[in-house]
Amino acid sequence: MMGNMIGVGIFIYPVLIASHLPHPIWFLGIWILGGLIALSGALSSAELGTFFPEAGGDYAYLRNVYGKRWAFLYGFLTFFITFPGSIAIGVGLTIHYQGTSLLGQWVNQTAFVLPVVEIPIPYYKLLACIIIFFLTLINHFGTKSSFLLQKIVTLGPVVFLILISILALLFLIWDLFTFGLEGSILSKNFSLPREFPSWFELGMALVPVYWTFSGWNSPLALGAEIHNPEKIIPKTMILGPILVTLIYSLFSFVFVALISYDDFKGGNLDPYLNIGNYMLSQLGFQNAYLVDNLPKFISLIIFLIVIGNTNSCMMTGSRIYVAMAHDDLFWKRVGYIDPKRNTPVVSLWLQSIWAILLVILINTESNLLNFSFIAITILSSMTIFSVFLIRMKKFQALKLYKTYGYPLTPLFYIFFSLGILSLIVAQYIQEGKISIVLSSIFAILVGLLGYEIWNKTKEKEIIKKDENIKKEEPLSTI
């Protein structure tokens, strides 16, 4: 869960969030609100996960509660857009932007041009394709190897960042005791006029926070592989969002304690670079080599976290397509599980091939994930509303985990999710980006139409098979 939640968002969104909020206290508070939204969704989904411990997560819940049509739509969007798109854009953009710091400007130069279609392939796209290939190979060899990778690339950088933030906090506390609070950056920031942001500005700040906390439902896709799900799932869904909220809140507090809030929200300083320089000065490291290479080190941390995020997407997405195949909503071959490694090898490679194609085809300014977010948020709200539906059917009599704070907890998540969605749509319309909204509607209609076509095709196959069986039956049995 942490690997899916903690991605590049915490590195690129803090300045954007602060730009909408007039005072640091709002900046700190909105991270807590984002954590509460994620926690409310996780607490609600945990009830569904313990009642339906199946592969596919939200896909399985939509199928069990609303039927195959809505489950197919969710699977259709996640296969063609969400997970392969996240993999392609996450790895591609990270190498495009961070690769220049780590490797040099050559990563953005053209490596070769694809014949026939005449598509130029820069080195960063080539490197992204190679990374996706090797990550898929690691997942191919089993969940043990993929989880080991997850621990290394997620826990390593995250624990390091936490330790650096705590150490910076301790240095700040020491400075405050030594020199006093008056005159410190923290004091100046909190002395700013305590203006209230408009509801619209508050909403605009909450949108990237919501994005940054997304991914809390990722472990549920592995429901069929979780031993003792009635205990493991609730613990995971409670502890995961709480830990991530604490991490984000810690980072945010260090930001406003070290950087002038006006400079911070104006985008005049790189907050992580500022923290790094502060730590080097406090530790007495004034070496020019360390100072010059600090941006490279930060880029490496970002790169490792994105690799963890990508690996998590691979694991989550591939299980959804397996569940679809088992329900006859995808090609049967996609549901194949390697008997030795217990991994969905066909699903993994199919997802990665599509992700690699997206790396080649889409550009750095792609709106691919923006319009899928609209549809996925609607389906996510429908999933959480399922808690009410299974309660109405008296399923809660079973001795399983029940959502803490029901019915307020699922209502809290649905209210904020749909509210944020409304703000996003309003912003797109205001900025003249109505094509994103129309693309989302088009994707939903194509998904629903795809289900009808798939269903009709399957019905014809069944009828034809029955007719063939009848023809082959001997007369005596008739």
Domain with residue 49: its CATH number is 1.20.1740.10
* 455 closest CA partner among 69, 79, 77, 76: 69
Q: How confident is the model at residue 202 (pLDDT cuts 50, 70, 90)?
A: confident
Q: Mean of the pLDDT values across residues 169-193?
A: 81
Q: What is the mean pLDDT of the chain?
A: 85
Q: How confident is the model at residue 477 (pLDDT cuts 50, 70, 90)?
A: very low
* Percent of the chain with pLDDT strictly greater than 70: 93
Q: Mean of the pLDDT values across residues 263-268?
A: 82
In a domain, 90, yes or no: yes
Contact 334, 350 (CB under 8 A): yes
At 475 the pLDDT is 46
Q: Mean of the pLDDT values across residues 68-95?
A: 90
User: Residue 210, exposed/middle/buried by CB under 10 A (0-12, 13-18, 19+)?
Assistant: buried
Interatomic CA distance for residues 377 and 386, integer angstroms: 14
Residue 71 has which token pair?
A: 């489950």
Q: Mean of the pLDDT values across residues 165-177?
A: 82
State yes or no: pLDDT of 73 exceeds 50: yes
State yes or no: pLDDT of 396 exceeds 70: no
State yes or no: pLDDT of 400 exceeds 90: no
Q: How confident is the model at residue 41 (pLDDT cuts 50, 70, 90)?
A: very high
State yes or no: pLDDT of 269 exceeds 90: no
At 129 the pLDDT is 94
At 472 the pLDDT is 60
* Percent of the chain with pLDDT strictly greater than 90: 32
At 398 the pLDDT is 58
Query: What is the tally of structural domains in the chain?
Result: 1
* 387 closest CA partner among 70, 57, 47, 38: 47
Q: Which of 35-49, 156-170, 200-214 has the lowest mean pLDDT?
A: 156-170
Angle of the 199-213 helix axis to the 408-430 helix axis, nearest 10: 110
β partners of residue 119 = 114
What pTM does this model have?
0.85
Interatomic CA distance for residues 14 and 211, integer angstroms: 12
In a domain, 478, yes or no: no
Interatomic CA distance for residues 28 and 51, integer angstroms: 36
* Residue 154 domain boundaries: 2-472
Q: How confident is the model at residue 395 (pLDDT cuts 50, 70, 90)?
A: low
Cα dihedral 233/236/238/240 (nearest 10): -150
Interatomic CA distance for residues 315 and 143, integer angstroms: 8
Interatomic CA distance for residues 342 and 141, integer angstroms: 9
At 416 the pLDDT is 94
Cα dihedral 160/166/172/178 (nearest 10): -120
Q: How confident is the model at residue 32 (pLDDT cuts 50, 70, 90)?
A: very high
Output the CA–CA distances (angstroms, integers) from residue 85 to 77, 79, 198, 435, in the order listed.
10, 9, 33, 18
Q: How confident is the model at residue 478 (pLDDT cuts 50, 70, 90)?
A: very low
State yes or no: pLDDT of 105 exceeds 70: yes
**What are all long-range contacts of 455-462, with beta carbons under 8 Å and residues at least 24 apart?**
455/68, 458/328
In a domain, 477, yes or no: no
Give 275-321 pLDDT, tens digit per residue.
777 777 777 776 677 767 777 787 888 888 888 888 888 988 899 99
Give 426-437 pLDDT, tens digit per residue.
888 888 888 888
In a domain, 405, yes or no: yes
State yes or no: pLDDT of 111 exceeds 90: no
Q: Mean of the pLDDT values across residues 394-417?
A: 82
In a domain, 370, yes or no: yes
Contact 65, 385 (CB under 8 A): no
At 95 the pLDDT is 86
